[in-house]
Amino acid sequence: MSQPTEHKSWTKTVVTTSSKSFTCTVSTDPTLISLDALSAAFNSDFIYWSKPLTHAHLQTLVQNSLCLGLYDEEKELIGFGRLITDRLTFAYLTDVYVLPSHQGKGLARFMMSCLDEIVSEWDEHLRRLLLFTRDEEAAKLYKHTLGAQDVRETGTGKLICMERVGGGNTFQAPDH
């Protein structure tokens, strides 16, 4: 029995360093995601892990994932994250970003807290939520908001992480 696909949304008022405030929204409704905005983000330098994708590919990506869009007051996409999941036993978190102009305001923490609320509903059957990051600050965020643990620190020694790198991977490991 699969989980319901009802869309969820959360709002938060953010106070900036200049004492101005704005309200942002996180939503799982894929129809709100601007493919143009997503394409612009995927074409930017700050999303170093991905090559640009066509609109058709982005549409497939959005349709086949549980996506969280982060929106400003004008409903512009300012952040994104997605779960590749069966919505019950397994989830892989990827493509998480907040636009550089909106970083440092707690928005990634807000988005991951919303994600945690979703995943917590699956806890009875959830076997594993996986994610990969090279960023230590991001790792701290995922540990704090999602309860994710660095497998090197779990001490079980039983999880083997393997990969097959395809042509869509832009990260090149250093030669040893």
Enumerate the domain spans of the chain.
9-154
Quote the pLDDT of residue 12.
Answer: 95
Unique residue bearing structure tokens 């609320």: 117
pLDDT one-digit tens code per residue, 27-66: 999 999 999 999 999 999 888 888 889 999 999 999 999 9
Output 67 or 150, whichever has higher pLDDT.
67
Q: At what angle do helices 35-42 and 55-63 cross, to 10 degrees?
A: 110
Question: Which burial class, exposed, middle or buried, applies to 24 when counting CB atoms under 10 A from its CB (0-12, 13-18, 19+)?
Answer: buried
Q: Is the pLDDT of residue 2 over 50?
A: no
3 confidence band (pLDDT: 50, 70, 90): very low
CA-closest candidate to residue 77, choices 114, 46, 117, 31: 31
The edge-to-edge listing of strands for the beta sheet with 9-15 is 9-15, 21-27, 66-71, 77-85, 90-98, 128-131
CATH number belonging to domain 9-154:
3.40.630.30
Residue range 118-126: mean pLDDT, rounded: 92
CA of 118: how far to CAs of 3, 60, 95, 145, 170, in Å?
10, 22, 17, 12, 30
CA-CA distance, 126 to 106, in Å (whole number)?
27
Q: Global pTM?
A: 0.85
Contact (CB, 8 A) for 26 and 42: no
pLDDT one-digit tens code per residue, 66-113: 999 999 999 999 999 999 999 999 999 999 999 999 999 999 999 999
